[in-house]
């Protein structure tokens, strides 16, 4: 499994739509897999029955591997999208679960990410929005998580700049294919499918809208 992380409003939804043009790839909408596996680890560590039953690290790693293997019913290479994957402790755990960990991270200047949110939300007070809105706070915390993961495991990251993705997408997709060990693929940038993410879950209309070209 390849891990797709991003700063909010930095192009990860566009990237998943482009990746899904390949017949050998499945790129997910925002996924609950990271959170699910984290909840299992937390329960394992805090429940006294773990100690009572002499639970060992090999046991929880085997459980996590089973959850990961069962999440997607496909033989394709899966790109699982979640902003939690770059956390250093999670990366360390996933190295035990699946060996190598590769993270594709779309990035964009923080000010541009905030501007993109503001364009969607149209806040009355832009200063207050940037300082206190939960979307802005989510952006800042995502940045800190990604920064911490990169500082700990720099060789496991491939960064994709938003401007590069939209101006020269084939070059960026070739970089990604090489990083994860796939053959190059010629993508169709005139017929990009819209995202399948259900934006009602987030309460923000067109949050993951992808245009055809």
SS3 call for 174: helix
Axis-axis angle for helices 57-71, 88-98 (nearest 10): 80
What integer is the mean pLDDT of 73-101?
Answer: 96
Nearest alpha carbon to residue 63 among 89, 46, 84, 42: 42
Lowest mean pLDDT: which of 91-100, 111-120, 185-194, 196-205? 196-205
Which tokens belong to 188?
């169709």
C-alpha torsion sign, points 14, 17, 21, 26: positive
Alpha-carbon distance of 31 to 82, in angstroms, equals 6
SS3 call for 167: helix
Write the pLDDT tens digit of every residue in 34-49: 999 999 999 999 999 9
Q: Rounded to two decimals, what is the model's pTM? A: 0.91
**What is the reported pLDDT for 206?**
65
Residue 209 pLDDT grade (very low, low, confident, very high; cuts 50, 70, 90): confident
C-alpha torsion sign, points 149, 150, 151, 155: positive
Using alpha carbons, list the distances in angstroms from residue 210 to 12, 100, 168: 11, 31, 17
């Amino acid at each position: 499994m390849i891990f797709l992380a991003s700063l909010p409003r930095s192009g990860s939804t566009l990237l998943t739509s482009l990746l899904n043009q390949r017949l050998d790839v499945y790129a997910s909408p925002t996924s609950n897999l990271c959170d699910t596996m984290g909840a299992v680890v937390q329960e394992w560590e805090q429940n006294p029955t773990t100690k009572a039953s002499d639970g060992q690290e090999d046991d929880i790693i085997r459980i996590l591997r089973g959850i990961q293997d069962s999440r997607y019913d496909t033989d394709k290479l899966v790109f699982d999208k979640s902003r939690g994957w770059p956390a250093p402790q999670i990366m360390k755990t996933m190295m035990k679960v699946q060996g190598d960990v590769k993270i594709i991270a779309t990035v964009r200047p923080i000010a541009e990410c905030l501007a993109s949110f503001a364009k969607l939300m149209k806040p009355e007070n832009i200063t207050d929005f940037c300082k206190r809105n939960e979307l802005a706070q989510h952006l800042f915390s995502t940045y800190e998580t990604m920064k911490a993961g990169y500082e700990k495991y720099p060789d496991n990251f491939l960064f994709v700049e938003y401007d590069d993705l939209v101006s020269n997408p084939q070059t960026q997709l070739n970089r990604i294919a090489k990083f994860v060990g796939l053959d190059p693929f010629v993508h169709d940038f005139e017929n990009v499918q819209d995202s399948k993410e259900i934006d009602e879950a987030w309460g923000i209309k067109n949050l993951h809208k992808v245009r055809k070209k």
